Chain A
Amino acid sequence: MSLTLEDVARIALLSRIELSAAERASTRDQLNGILGFIEQLQAVDTTGIEPMAHAVDVVQRLRPDTVTETDRRAEFQAVAPETEAGLYLVPRVVE
């Protein structure tokens, strides 16, 4: 399976990473190199094998329903690119 320039553009948009036209071509070649390498996985028969999503076979631990956090807005917003009236600002979002 080989990626086209359109595939690369689609993946880049999904990833929200801007690529120039030149970058798109070199990215396609690099990604195809990596995909060629991982392609060997397809040859393995994994019928009946349970996928392993976690490195440990234990179950979810649960947290008691208590409020433990206090207001730290000022501290958190000290590192924000743009805020006003306690809000994070972004370019206008059209719904």
Chain B
Amino acid sequence: MSELINSSLRDLSAALAARRVSAVELATLFLDRIDRLNPGLNAFIALDRDKTLAQARAADESLKVGGGATALTGIPLAHKDIFCTRGWRTSCGSKMLENFVSPYDAHVVEKLAAAGMVTLGKLNMDEFAMGSSNETSHFGPVKNPWDVSCVPGGSSGGSAAAIAARLTPAATGTDTGGSIRQPAALCGLTGLKPTYGAVSRYGMIAFASSLDQAGPMAKSAEDCALLLNAMAGFDPRDSTSLERPAEDYARDLEQPLAGLRIGLPKEFFGDGMDPDVRAAVEAALGEYHRLGATTVEVQLPNSGLSVPAYYVIAPAEASSNLSRFDGVRYGYRAPEYADLTEMYSRSRAQGFGAEVKRRILIGTYVLSHGYYDAYYLQAQKIRRLIAADFVEAFKNCDVIMGPTSPSVAFAFGAKSADPVQMYLSDIYTISTNLAGLPGMSLPCGFGSNAMPVGLQIIGNWFGEAKMLTVAHQYQKATDWHTRMPEALK
């Protein structure tokens, strides 16, 4: 049975349907593995065996009856702790919400539970999703299963580490500037950030509302497609959720790639990328040529401005989004204060970590009187230029490819002293968030120190199915996505 830790979601689904394994057995398999391995990884920050097994028993019931079961019924998954989960502590990686038990479910949580999936627990993350290394979590850093002296990436680092260590077959993540794709790359996984508006943000604790998007993280593109089928769809509770007909994201997975035009932005292949990453990405492009695709150079002339534009827009929105954490209705309240202002200022000073405070302060500043036009409005204009570049580029190609991250996973502390160096970890991923485009990362080899390298695919707006096909065909021809850390086998 232990071989099931490496199984695809389709195989797990078949095993459950055939009653070769029960949902309770499957959940127990992973829970036991979490008990054994999580202390060394710190990926899970909330576990509740009773709740998990109750959900698994319910899944077994519906599998027995048959009628209510879906392709995902009985399959375990875990949620990034940014998703409100009724009855579960939902901390967003922050001391501010250390004692917050959510009274409601996020849309994504609701939909995956409705599909019959079983929640194993909640996953560690950078505090309020602000970070690229998982070092900003109040609950301590997550370790990269490929090398525990290295970061797993962030902010969905707990999700990535848990899947890489086979503590869960799948997880949810969120991506504001690369928070699904970068940890997927650094942990050797497949992760997808959908088009903005494809997945409801309801119940997902907001970092930067115009950029945040939830998506699946798993071992393969096919798994991601199945998960996205359950996660996506219109939600009237989110004004930015798009009313589009339901889509089967797995529908084209078996389409061959002959004739596929891959756009290669020259800006993504410049000096910023480490040589080992370049080698792996170029080898992957070679594989795509063998699969019948052609490559074409495209231009994203403003993509160099994406990181600075992002570090105006995201903190601005965050400074406002995080104002609700004031110690009045829920969350941390400082024990001592003289008056109302001090209650606010101390609760927030003590409840938030350094990076979150830094971003709130920057965001407050760029929105403040006299600076709004120069920073915020200017960044919004540059955002349009960046989006317009993509419109042009997609006139000549079907997908865009490049590295996900300029380097493989780095050591703890390597970038934490200099915020700007850390921000540049997301240099290749941020522009898609600004434009609202879908993007994904899939493993394409190993770089220095035998650490995984991620290939990024950027799709056109609503091009998730195309992207997934492009990734799946590559994964049929390669086995990078099946590798797991030797030490954890």
Tell me the residues in window 1-40 of chain A with beta carbons closer than 8 Å to chain B beta carbons: 3, 7-8, 11-19, 27, 30-31, 33-35, 37-40
Asked if B71 lies at the interface with its beta carbon under 8 angstroms from chain A, I say no
Nearest-CB distance from A94 to chain B (Å)?
9
Residue B349 at the chain A interface, CB threshold 8 Å: yes
- The minimal Cβ–Cβ distance linking A44 to chain B, given in whole angstroms, is 6
In the bound complex, what is the Cα–Cα distance between A56 and B331 (angstroms)?
A: 32
Inter-subunit contact A15/B240 (CB<8 Å)? no
Q: How many residues of A contact B (CB 8 A)?
A: 51
Q: State whether B333 touches A81 (Cβ < 8 A).
A: yes
Chain B residues, Cβ within 8 Å of A51: 377, 380-381, 383-384
Instruction: State the 10 A-B residue pairs at the shortest beta-carbon distance, nearest first.
Output: A55-B436, A51-B380, A55-B196, A46-B381, A18-B345, A52-B384, A18-B349, A16-B344, A81-B333, A49-B381
Expressed in whole angstroms, the Cα–Cα distance for A12 and B242 within the complex equals 37
Confirm or deny: B430 has a beta carbon within 8 angstroms of a beta carbon on chain A. Answer: no
Contact B328 A90 (CB under 8 A): yes
Among A34, A50, A55, A92, which residue has the most Cβ atoms of chain B within 10 A? A55
Q: CB within 8 A of A12: which of B239, B308, B361?
A: B361
* A38 and B344 contact, CB distance less than 8 A: no
Please judge, given known A-B contacts A50-B381, A55-B196, A81-B327, whether A37 and B103 are in contact too, CB under 8 Å.
no
Contacts of B269 on A, CB cut-off 8 Å?
Answer: none
In the complex, whether B100 has a CB less than 8 A from a CB of chain A is yes
CB distance from B98 to the nearest CB of A (A): 11
Report if A78 contacts B (CB, 8 A): yes
Asked if residues A37 and B361 are in contact (CB atoms below 8 Å), the reply is no
Whether A85 is near chain B, meaning CB under 8 Å from some CB there, is: no
Q: Is B348 an interface residue (CB 8 A)?
A: yes
* A85 CB to nearest chain B CB (Å): 16
- Tell me if B443 counts as interface (CB < 8 A to partner A): no
> Would you call B413 an interface residue if the criterion is a C-beta within 8 Å of the partner chain's C-beta atoms?
no
- Does B329 count as interface, using CB distance less than 8 angstroms? yes
Interface pair B349/A19, CB less than 8 Å apart: yes
A26 to B357 Cα, complex, angstroms:
13
| B222 is an interface residue with CB less than 8 A from chain A | no
Provide the bound-state CA to CA distance between A49 and B381, in Å: 6
Known contacts A52-B383, A79-B99; A44/B361 CB under 8 A: no
Select one of A18, A27, A78, A80 contacting B358, CB under 8 A.
A27
Whether A82 contacts B333 by the Cβ 8 Å rule is yes
The verdict on A58 contacting chain B, using a C-beta distance below 8 Å, is: yes
> Quick one: which of A11, A27, A34, A56 contacts B196, CB cutoff 8 A?
A56
Does residue B346 face the partner (Cβ distance < 8 Å to A)?
A: yes
Alpha-carbon distance A17/B103, docked complex (angstroms):
27
With CB as the reference atom, state the residue of chain B lying closest to A12. Answer: B361
B387 an interface residue at 8 Å Cβ cutoff?
yes
Taking a contact as CB atoms under 8 Å apart, the answer to whether A18 and B346 are in contact is yes
**B486 sits at the interface (CB 8 A):** no
Q: Give the chain A neighbours of B302 by CB distance below 8 A.
A: 44
Q: List 11 other contacts, CB 8 Å, given A33-B418, A76-B330.
A: A15-B319, A16-B348, A37-B308, A41-B378, A41-B382, A51-B377, A52-B384, A55-B240, A72-B103, A80-B328, A82-B333
